[in-house]
Structure 1
């Protein structure tokens, strides 16, 4: 019987890397009776499909979905945005895909470190919340947060994909062993089919650049240069104001930063226990949780008028550039 392999992410668990490798190997996969559709894509993943459900435009992909449902072999659909679907969206996705044999693939990453990585990514894209502002609503009620407690969303998928089987992959272990793709292929029963390239995608930028970018996003509200375009322009032209950053702004940020330890918290231990109890999934760390020691700029640095003036100057330069 045909099998649907639904890789739902979530965000910041190596999904883009896996999608790129699957996309680049789609001909080899096809010769092995595995379809990785080259339609409904954004970058390398099937985010177009996930987003069409959110925007009530799934009918735009009627032909593509028909091709998937009629394929004689196994089909892989992959998008982190599947994880972001609400309950109605998951129901619509299930109803559109005519499969009785479904495997739901999800990567488990230490929750508090994943939360930090999510905040980092959102700031890069235009969010202006500080880490404490962003994380507090999750950490205050961790078991009600879908970002910290991924079982909430997994249970919704299993509610509608009633014949579905969940395969959980330890992201932290796969990164440590540099076998993220191999772990994915093994989980879907195709061990050894694809080779690992292990190229890092979406690398973090340093926290001082991130803080400058967060402030630039604040200034960009209501302007034409904002979000992704602002980030690209900042890094493309960073060499122009490198001296201002290195000699004035970054040293000031360094002197007004707070040391934080992320990882190995009661939340990480509690969620690991929950995943073990609900899905018999054991985090492969032998009780040794990864801890990140970071320095995050304190928000009080923005009260310094000299620094605010420097950031305004950088923003004005970026806006005035062609």
Structure 2
């Protein structure tokens, strides 16, 4: 994969920073033509979960305004993975062509009405042929591609901890070293630059739909509802129809939580345990329950990116902004945000660095993670002899989980 992450070029001129609004460089953002199939391809960590949740929550209100959300869940992940020939997350359901075909039928059922399909995994499409096939099957000329972007410096820590949630064992600084300094920048996660070399991502989709059918939205983290307002403007929806819904399950992990999980990954892999066990007990058990029951405290240490990596991200961001600016696509928001270097709140090393004790996980957080794993063992079958229940562990009351766990423990004791 060609990914020159260290080349430095002159930065583009920076516009004044301000909150994102549904405005294009030429004026107010015009709605897309009636009957458009808006394909939101992410990439990851650019507000995708928030907009998917808002669209799904408004699913039954959209038709009265001429818009459909054809998926039957917030995020049709398996369909997107199948379309891009991507494997499932560790231990999860294997995506098949049936998942993709089902989504295509749901899109086709929207008829001449506008529809919106959103999955960050479309950014993982491996080649031009796959991109062209996705566009053609979703409606060809009716497809308009939406790309949401955030600064690399903000994406990197969030993406690293997400990789850890899927089994990564490498520490943050070592991971950054591989992603930014060690050509060809593909190990341990070849998907990172496939997703986040944003100029090349936009180029791939231009080759399938043309520059006039791509909108790039620069997400401004200071304007929490800006992305919602932009989607409303593009789809011709009334203002404030789309609303952010808090989703504890989607929050990022703190440094202590991530390090606890990373060290567990080392033990898990070192002992050769099966992927299905990891999916059910760790990611969908321990981690999910911990995120739903424990909110980060103000004094929790966040994942801190070292200065050299922040500066490298800023340089790469400037290169991407410059290239995207020459492609002829519509850009919504302030492109200079993509190369802005955030202020450092605490140094990564030196006398002012946090002491080791400060990043230790709190006992109650560890307890909730352990309980989540135990509850998953009680509530979710592991051996694939019975079809898994559709209700996840974190959606089940603690009282019911304790009852099921106790019942299963007694049953095993009687067998012995």
Tell me the CA shift for residue 286 of structure 1: 10
Residue 11 of structure 1: SS of its match in structure 2?
coil
| 1:210 lines up with 2:258 in the alignment | yes
Which stretches in structure 2 are left out of the alignment for 5+ residues?
1-33, 87-94, 187-192, 292-300, 350-359, 361-366, 378-416
Alpha-carbon separation, structure 1, partners of 2:170 and 2:264? 12
Pick from 219, 228, 237: which aligns with 1:171?
Answer: 219
Over the aligned positions, Cα root-mean-square deviation in angstroms equals: 3.9
- Corresponding residue for residue 149 of structure 1: 197
Tell me the CA shift for residue 118 of structure 1: 0.6
- Judged with a 3 Å threshold, the aligned counterparts in structure 2 of structure 1 residues 19 and 216 are, in CA distance, closer, same or farther, namely same
- Judged with a 3 Å threshold, the aligned counterparts in structure 2 of structure 1 residues 63 and 285 are, in CA distance, closer, same or farther, namely closer
Pick from 89, 93, 97: which aligns with 1:58?
Answer: 97
Decide whether the 8 Å contact of 1:49 with 1:61 is kept in 2. Answer: yes
Alpha-carbon separation, structure 2, partners of 1:286 and 1:319? 38
| 1:48 lines up with 2:78 in the alignment | yes
Tell me the CA shift for residue 187 of structure 1: 3.5
Residue 272 of structure 1: SS of its match in structure 2?
helix
Q: How do residues 173-188 of structure 1 correspond to structure 2 at under 5 angstroms? A: 173=221, 175-188=222-235
Pick from 115, 135, 143: which aligns with 1:75?
Answer: 115
Residue 146 of structure 2: SS of its match in structure 1?
strand
Higher helix share: 1
| 1:268 lines up with 2:326 in the alignment | no
Q: How do residues 216-231 of structure 1 correspond to structure 2 at under 5 angstroms? A: 216-221=264-269, 222-224=272-274, 225-227=277-279, 229-231=281-283
Q: How do residues 131-150 of structure 1 correspond to structure 2 at under 5 angstroms? A: 131-140=172-181, 145-150=193-198
Decide whether the 8 Å contact of 2:169 with 2:266 is kept in 1. Answer: yes
- Judged with a 3 Å threshold, the aligned counterparts in structure 2 of structure 1 residues 199 and 258 are, in CA distance, closer, same or farther, namely closer
Q: Deviations over 1:214-249 (max 9, x none)?
A: 0111101112542563243267589xxxxxxxxxxx
Alpha-carbon separation, structure 2, partners of 1:115 and 1:258? 10
Tell me the CA shift for residue 19 of structure 1: 0.7
- Judged with a 3 Å threshold, the aligned counterparts in structure 2 of structure 1 residues 96 and 208 are, in CA distance, closer, same or farther, namely same
Decide whether the 8 Å contact of 1:103 with 1:166 is kept in 2. Answer: yes
Larger RCO (alpha carbons 8 Å, 6+ apart)? 2
Decide whether the 8 Å contact of 2:164 with 2:261 is kept in 1. Answer: yes
Count of residue pairs brought into register by the alignment:
289
Alpha-carbon separation, structure 1, partners of 2:218 and 2:373? 46
- Judged with a 3 Å threshold, the aligned counterparts in structure 2 of structure 1 residues 295 and 233 are, in CA distance, closer, same or farther, namely farther
Alpha-carbon separation, structure 2, partners of 1:215 and 1:29? 45
TM-score when scaled to structure 2? 0.59
- Judged with a 3 Å threshold, the aligned counterparts in structure 2 of structure 1 residues 196 and 292 are, in CA distance, closer, same or farther, namely farther
Which stretches in structure 1 are left out of the alignment for 5+ residues?
239-252, 298-306, 308-313
Alpha-carbon separation, structure 2, partners of 1:143 and 1:36? 37
TM-score when scaled to structure 1? 0.74
